[in-house]
Amino acid sequence: MRYTVLGRTGLEVSRIAFGTWQLGGEWGSFDEKAAMDAIRHARELGVNFFDTAQAYGFGKSEQILGNALREELKHNRDQIVIATKGGINPGSSRPRDASRSWLRKGVEESLRALDLDYIDLYQVHWPDPNTPAEETASALQEMVDEGKIRHVGVSNYDARQMAEFERIRPVETLQPPYHLFRRGIEEEILPYAREHNIGVLVYSPLGSGLLTGRLTPDVQFEPSDWRAHASAFQGEKLRRNLAVVDRLSEFARERGMSVSQLAIAWVLAQPGVHVAIVGARSSRNIENSLAAADLTLSSEDLAGIERIVADGVPVEGASPEGVA
């Protein structure tokens, strides 16, 4: 496992973070014991960075993560970096809420769900247009001063929103979506993060399953899986992108790797990206993903990937308001 310093936080973290969105109930049913085994196995293989969120099952994901790592969190707390997110309330009349009161409530609930005294990295899950950046940033600084959280980041923010936040206190990390079919951060967001030494941990490097090589054009998801309602996983858009994945799979095989490993290695090769967040519900899957951190793509490899994905269709993902 390779490690890196996460921007201005100074935290030394594994280049693969174990993500837990899939453990909140929005990705269909799963075996909780197998998921906890996967978390522990990731730790055994060198992962020291784990990302979750209050909104993933309203504490369910946080509880599973905390329970899986309970013994090490008790005895080697400083060896593990726990990141969580707050500031949204899906299904409510106000799905984005980064107000002082809601953030404080969220931090307290996350501490209880994780059974921790402090959170290493607390991130605003989505920008809230109805709360001034000054209120959000100052509320988080207050909780840093109180020792409830150590570092502050944002997720799904653009460059302008980060600049507004930074008028009050530094944005230490950014968590944006980024993969071969979703590259919107490249124009302004990633350059801003590089310029300001913001640690970037990207989510969905596998395109929420598109880049695993396991989907077919007639794939059917459980109704509780958000992808069952997303345009990226339906019709012509899905067929075109899976055709691209087929070509990427052949390209990867020629280089002795799987297409999912290729996709993760590509993300990690992009300037300014520190960490790729990868989820898993089984130990076998996490082993395959972690191996990608040790892969190196040449400039010729990267150029070849660009030629292949030029035939793909850009996609979006889920938001507090639903899916596109």
pLDDT at 281: 75
Q: Which residues pair with 19 in a beta bridge?
A: 51, 279
pLDDT at 278: 95
Q: Which residues pair with 276 in a beta bridge?
A: 16, 202
- Cα dist. 305→139, 181, 183, 245, 298 in Å? 43, 12, 14, 10, 11
- Cα dist. 57→42, 198, 244, 264 in Å? 22, 28, 33, 26
pTM, 2 dp: 0.95
pLDDT at 279: 87
Q: How many residues does the chain have?
A: 324
What percentage of the chain has pLDDT greater than the value 90? 84
The radius of gyration of the chain from alpha carbons, rounded to an integer in Å, stands at: 19
Which tens digits make up the pLDDT trace of 134-153?
Answer: 999 999 999 999 999 999 99
Q: Is 167 exposed, middle or buried (0-12, 13-18, 19+ CB in 10 A)?
A: exposed
pLDDT at 288: 87
Which of the two residues, 11 and 222, has the higher pLDDT score? Answer: 11
Confidence of residue 132 (pLDDT cuts 50, 70, 90): very high
Domain range 3-209+259-296, its CATH number among 3.40.50.720, 3.60.21.10, 3.20.20.210, 3.20.20.100 = 3.20.20.100
Strands 3-5, 49-51: pairing kind = unpaired
CB of 17 closer than 8 Å to CB of 277: yes
Confidence of residue 32 (pLDDT cuts 50, 70, 90): confident
Residue type, 137: A
pLDDT at 98: 97
pLDDT at 274: 98
Mean pLDDT computed over every residue of the chain: 94
Residues marked as catalytic: 56
Query: What integer is the mean pLDDT of 222-244?
Result: 93
CB of 86 closer than 8 Å to CB of 113: no
Query: What integer is the mean pLDDT of 84-95?
Result: 89
Closest CA to 20 of 87, 114, 95: 114
Contacts of residue 137, defined as CB under 8 A and 6 or more positions apart, other chains included, come to 152, 165, 166, 167, 168, 169
Q: 58: which 2 tokens?
A: 């309203």
Query: What integer is the mean pLDDT of 35-41?
Result: 93
Query: What integer is the mean pLDDT of 196-220?
Result: 95
Confidence of residue 168 (pLDDT cuts 50, 70, 90): very high
Give the whole-angstrom CA distance, residue 77 versus residue 79. Answer: 5
Is the pLDDT at 191 greater than 80? The verdict is yes
Which tens digits make up the pLDDT trace of 268-321?
Answer: 999 999 999 998 877 777 888 999 999 999 999 999 999 999 999 999 988 887
Residue with tokens 């500031």: 87
Residue with tokens 């002082």: 100
